[in-house]
Amino acid sequence: MGEEMNVKLHGFWASPYVKRVELALKVKGIPYEYVEEELCNKSDLLLQYNPVYKKVPVLVHNGKPTAESLVILEYIDETWKNHNSKLLPEDPYLRATFRFWGNYIHQLFETMRPIVAAEAEAQERIIDEVQEKLNILEEGIGNIFPQGKIPVVINGTENMGYLDILMCSVFARHEAVEEGLGLKILDPEKTPLICSWIAALNDLQIVKQIIPPHDNMVILFKNIRQRSFTIPSSS
């Protein structure tokens, strides 16, 4: 138990990357200390623990730091193998498949990120690209989980897995993004499986505890967008 308690997570309250790690720790039942970082004034410890990228999240276990959210998820799963269910399946092929689609979801989020500060025309291009990627993901999910029976719905429990965690971190607050930026990202008619998956995840108590409040996220996105268009460009 002493080893479990020596876990710290350096993060930022609204970061989807940090939420991935928080969800994984909660799912696994790992006690941890959360350290909130100011992204405009990063602590010396954060810079020490992650000198390469200098960003959150960083998981510190027994004084040893691990950075990058996808790497941290696998570290958690491999370090605490006997804690609750595994995040990734045991079968090597399924595990590789989950990693593949996990990377795809990660890249999908990277495609979405510039939309916050993009002007209207650029926003439309990004939304079109995101929709294409969502369509591919919708088909891929259907192949992984036949008949649309995604794990979180089948189990009816809070034993979220690797893909559940990634989807939740990216899309759990999509309505706040849409309200804050005045656009539409997810459409139940175009991607019904993805939308039902997100709805099921948002119903879980563990998600309600971790994901930031809707109103706070709306304010954050509106503020980011306003700053993007008021800060003069450098010459």
| Residue-wise pLDDT tens digits, 70-100 | 999 999 999 999 877 789 989 999 899 999 9
| Residue-wise pLDDT tens digits, 19-43 | 999 999 999 999 999 999 999 999 9
Best CA proximity match to 56, nearest among 75, 39, 73: 39
Q: How far apart are CA 42 and CA 53, in angstroms?
A: 12
Q: How far apart are CA 159 and CA 99, in angstroms?
A: 18
Strand-pair category, 58-61 with 64-67: antiparallel
Please tell me whether the overall predicted TM-score, pTM, comes out greater than 0.85 for this model.
Answer: yes
| pLDDT number for residue 147 | 55
How confident is the model over 57-77, as a mean pLDDT? Answer: 97
